[in-house]
Homo-oligomer: A and B are copies of this chain.
Amino acid sequence: MELVVAKKILKANDQIAEGNRSKFDDAGVFVVNILGSPGSGKTALLEALFPLYRGRLNMAVIEGDLASTHDAERIEKAGVAAVQINTDGGCHLDANMIAAAAGSFDLRALDVLFIENVGNLVCTAGFDLGERLRVVVLSVPEGDDKVIKYPPIFQGAGAVVISKSDLLEHSDFDTARLRANLLRLNPSARVFELSAKKGAGVEAFADWLIEQRKISRRVAA
């Protein structure tokens, strides 16, 4: 019984997500869904990207959390407009929440809309939000076995960002092993290694993201 209901909800979500995507494409805004465990460094990644894009791209952020406005405050402190969604205990954002939150922005004035999902390596994977790109942030302290243990989220990723690379020297994280496991699961996913704290590797990811935006606009046109 609950399986049937779940399927119906998912179908409804997919329809709303498609509507979101059309609206985003029409407005010319590139939407990136950022996923990862709690504390993997999703907000820190955004904070590191902003200075590189400032003056070149108009950005906004939708923040998803169970409770608090903590992350939206961090984003606004960095000078970027943010809307906070509180899921009231829910473990992921859905397309309906995004449709509502996107109404807070003048989409035509935006180049990139980042969605920072609830910190979760499981539930977030199943919900299309209407994005054009999914980025999974996996921090070095989480360990390189996460691709094997949480396959669905890595299967749907356009890119995997290995964050907190400054901690590699204090860890037995094996990037080659992660790449090999990811290759079997999702050969088209790009892998970036960066430290938002130290700045290393952020520019390469930022440039690739801009490239993806250009490709996406050509596809949408």
Contact = CB atoms under 8 A, between A and B. Distances in A.
A121 interface: yes
A166 interface: yes
Copies of the polypeptide in the assembly: 2
Contacts of A121: 37-38, 119-120
A65 B146 CA distance: 10
Contacts of A39: 37, 139, 141-143, 146
A160 to B, nearest CB: 14
B5 A142 contact: no
A98 to B, nearest CB: 18
A200 interface: no
A152 B66 CA distance: 9
Nearest to A44: B143
Interface string A122-162: 11000000000000000111110110111110000000000
A148 B68 contact: yes
A156 to B, nearest CB: 12
Contact of A70 (B119, B145, B167): B145
A9 B2 contact: yes
A219 interface: no
5 contacts: A38-B142, A40-B142, A66-B122, A70-B148, A123-B123
Interface of A: 1-2, 5-6, 9, 37-40, 65-68, 70-71, 89-91, 118-123, 139-143, 145-146, 148-152, 164, 166-167, 170
